[in-house]
Copies of this chain bind each other. A is one copy, B any other.
Amino acid sequence: MFTIVCSTNRQNSLSKEISRIYQDLLKDQGQESQIIDLQDLPQDFVVSALYDNSGKNEHFNKYRELMLNSEKFVFIVPEYNGSFPGVLKAFIDGLKFPNTFTNKKCALVGLSAGVQGAGLALSHLTDIFNYCGMHVLALKPKLARIDSNLKDGVITDELYMELLETQVKQIIEF
């Protein structure tokens, strides 16, 4: 059972579309998965679910438990201001530490409107997840110019699809 984290709370995000595509790719390999969409978090979670309030927001706790009980993750990460969305890190800051990630494994996918494909975002996230004790798969596809390469819920760039398919096979074995 994989947990795919759609790593932004923007409405109708392309990350959500990529998350669904990823779910299909996992299914093609016989793997079940659930999508956690940060859009579903309580709107005030950066106050009501962090620090002294950690673990006290029931709505947030639902996602906290799902994360805690997952063994393998895929993070679909859009590039905002040269890194990952702040809301993703705030979500991580509200999770149970250190059990949520220690000795678990994840795969990272970056996407961007621009040409970098969230390369720095994935580097920063690797630092964070390693700090939390989670191993990160080496292959991290960077889907640049995503607006031109995603149409009607389908990735049109062949190389991108190959990279994702390779990654799916690798994270299953990782």
Q: Which residues of chain A from 69 to 105 have any CB-CB distance to chain B below 8 Å in the complex?
A: 80-93, 97, 103
Could you tell me how many residues of chain A have their Cβ less than 8 Å away from some Cβ of chain B? 54
Cβ distance A141 to chain B, nearest Cβ, rounded Å: 12
Question: Within the oligomer, what is the number of copies of this chain?
Answer: 4
Q: Is the CB of B133 within 8 A of A86?
A: no
Interface flag for A61 (CB, 8 Å): no
Please give, as numbers and ranges, the residues of chain B lying within 8 Å of A120 by CB-CB distance: 119-120, 123, 127, 131
Contact present for A132 and B82 (CB under 8 Å) = yes
Given contacts A46-B9, A87-B86, A119-B120, are A134 and B138 in contact (CB under 8 A)? yes
Interfacial chain B residues near A66, Cβ < 8 Å: none
A124: interface (CB < 8 Å): yes
A44 at the interface (CB under 8 A from B): yes
15 A-B contacts (beta carbon < 8 Å): A9-B50, A80-B89, A83-B124, A83-B131, A86-B87, A86-B90, A87-B90, A89-B90, A115-B144, A120-B123, A126-B126, A134-B138, A135-B137, A136-B136, A136-B138
- Give residues in A with beta carbon < 8 Å to B: 9-11, 43-48, 50-52, 80-93, 97, 103, 115-117, 119-120, 123-124, 126-140, 142, 144, 170, 174
